[in-house]
Amino acid sequence: MLRILSFCLVLASFALGVPVAKSRQKVLLISFDGFRWDYDRDVYTPNLDTMARDGVKARYVTPPYLTITTPTHFTLLTGRYIENHGVIHNMWFNVSTGEKKPYYQTQFVNEWWDNGTLPIWITAQRQGLKAGSLHFPGTASSYQGEVAMVRDVEPRFYNYKNETAWRENTDKVMGWFRDQDLDFVSMYFGEPDSTGHKYGPDSPQRREMVKQIDRTVGYIRDSAERHGLTDRLNIIMTADHGMTTVYRNGLVEEIVLSKIPGFSFSDLSFHLVDFGPSGMLLPKPGKLDKVYNALKGSHPHLHVYKKEEMPERLHFAKNARILPIILWSDPGYVINGYLPVQFHKGEHGFDNQEMDMKPFFRAVGPAFQKNLEVGPFETVNIYPLMCHILGIKPEINDGHLNATKHMLASAATTQGEFISG
């Protein structure tokens, strides 16, 4: 019965003049953490330039708010805004016990990730495809009891800068595609984020790191060629957020919550501050307005919102995990609790409208047009694009294929849009 059905589909495809794909197209999604949209402007990047000529470059893309690593990566995997996928922070926390877990430990808190939204690995596998992931945030978790079938979880205390390891990981992933016939892999590099934080986005160290990434881009494409994947593999490169310079050395009046008249940490039962430019507060019962009124308008570069007043465009309110008061600062400023304890020269986590928060986007492969530069789009739209190329039915998401389909080569060379029954 199935064979008759597929034979009919083949006939129908010929009747419509659409050639049947010889083999299914593959997708490799790569994130270079913190690669700002304009990082190729002050560095010689021959490999990124070649990739743009061979494929598609977006001027920039807009990440979801909150512009930090874990939540924005989960948006890439799900196509949902952060309030909708629920992985709202890099840190797992429990407001009852006051417990918090840092970024790496949070990778292993299953219920933080597995809270109703399925990442693309699971959806692809449920529809008969094979998926893998290397170091991508969310890889360590299971989702409704399922995991990516091939996975490499980032080791603890991993050296993000090691170019040799980058090459080994690249060859490992290309081997998965060739030898295990995977259809989709997500792959994560922790740079240039670390360098951008430590030295600032305008530093010579950041420019050197972009050169290293450019060499790696060349290596990735060569490796795809060596593994015989070029005519089937689509490579999408983007990032989770950008980076901006933090004002230091007494240049500005820093935001220190404990110094704000009328504000007291004793009115809070839980808080997440000292985490770059964003913060969330849970006031004790009856203290919400006191805390809010003390903070609102207290510093010209501090934004204070009750959860229900959050601007709709940020899509960061409608989730039980988001705390009742949300704070963020303007570019250049971070939010300190008791005293300044943050010494990064570069930071992210700001409003996603800020140009410095926008990541880069490149795509190359048989599904994409060549030598095409497109305007900006939101990163929620990358998920439906990937589902389209893979020929799978997406889960409910906040993206639209309409936002990206102009980047695709003619319909004949892709699998075609999934037609649901």
Q: Provide φ and ψ at 282, rounded to 5°.
A: -115, 100
CB of 42 to Zn ion, least distance (A): 20
Contact between 191 and Zn ion (CB under 5 A)? no
Q: For residue 128, give every residue at least 6 positions away whose Cβ sits within 8 Å of its Cβ, in sequence order, or none.
A: none
Token couple for 413: 């060379």
Of 84 and 195, which CB lies nearer to Zn ion in the complex structure?
Answer: 195
CB of 159 to Zn ion, least distance (A): 16
Shortest Å, Cβ 276 to Zn ion? 8
How far apart are alpha carbons 132 and 122 in whole angstroms?
A: 10
For residue 183, state whether it binds Zn ion (rule: CB under 5 A): no
**How many chain residues are in contact with Zn ion, going by CB under 5 A?**
1
Does residue number 395 form part of the binding site for Zn ion (CB under 5 A)?
no
Selected range binding Zn ion among 190-198, 201-209, 218-226, 376-384, rule: CB under 5 A: 190-198
What secondary structure letter does DSSP report for 175? H
Residue 348 C-beta: closest distance to Zn ion, Å: 6
Q: What are 94's two structure tokens? A: 């429990």
Stretch that binds Zn ion, among 127-135, 191-199, 224-232, 388-396 (CB under 5 A): 191-199
Cβ proximity to Zn ion, 205 vs 415, nearer residue: 205
Length, in residues, of the chain = 421
Nearer to Zn ion, 67 or 186 (CB): 67
What's the closest the beta carbon of residue 109 comes to Zn ion, in angstroms?
19
The answer to the question of residue 193 lying near Zn ion (CB under 5 A) is yes
Q: Which stretch binds Zn ion (CB under 5 A): 8-16, 189-197, 289-297, 364-372?
A: 189-197
Say which DSSP state 32 is in: E
DSSP, res 151: E
* Per-position b or e across 188-208, b if 16+ CB within 10 A of its CB: bbbbbbbbbbebbbebeebbe
Let me know: does 29 contact 188? Beta carbons within 8 Å. Answer: no
Residue 408 DSSP symbol? B
Nearest residue to Zn ion by CB is 193
Pick 114 or 193: Cβ nearer Zn ion: 193
Quick one: how far is CA 121 from the chain centroid? 15
Query: Do 388 and 405 contact (CB within 8 A), yes or no?
Result: yes
CA distance 200 to 213: 17
Q: Choose the binding region for Zn ion from 36-44, 76-84, 192-200, 216-224 (rule: CB under 5 A).
A: 192-200
Contact between 214 and Zn ion by CB under 5 A: the answer reads no
The answer to whether 69 is a known catalytic residue is: yes
- Here the tokens at position 259 are 């110094």
Which helix (H) or strand (E) element contains residue 263?
Answer: none
Asked if 398 touches Zn ion (CB under 5 A), the answer is no
26 or 73: whose CB is closer to Zn ion? 73
- Going by C-alpha positions, the residue among 71, 115, 171, 156 that lies closest to residue 379 is 71
Backbone dihedral region for residue 219 (phi beyond 0: left; psi -120 to 50: alpha; all else: beta): alpha
Catalytic option among 45, 67, 69, 106 = 69
Q: State the binding string over 230-249 for Zn ion (x if CB under 5 A, else -).
A: --------------------
CB nearer to Zn ion: pick between 47 and 238: 238
Output the smallest distance, CB 344 to Zn ion, in A.
Answer: 8
The smaller minimum CB distance to Zn ion, of residues 191 and 193, is found at: 193
User: Residues with catalytic annotation?
Assistant: 69
Interacting residue ranges for Zn ion, rule: CB under 5 A = 193
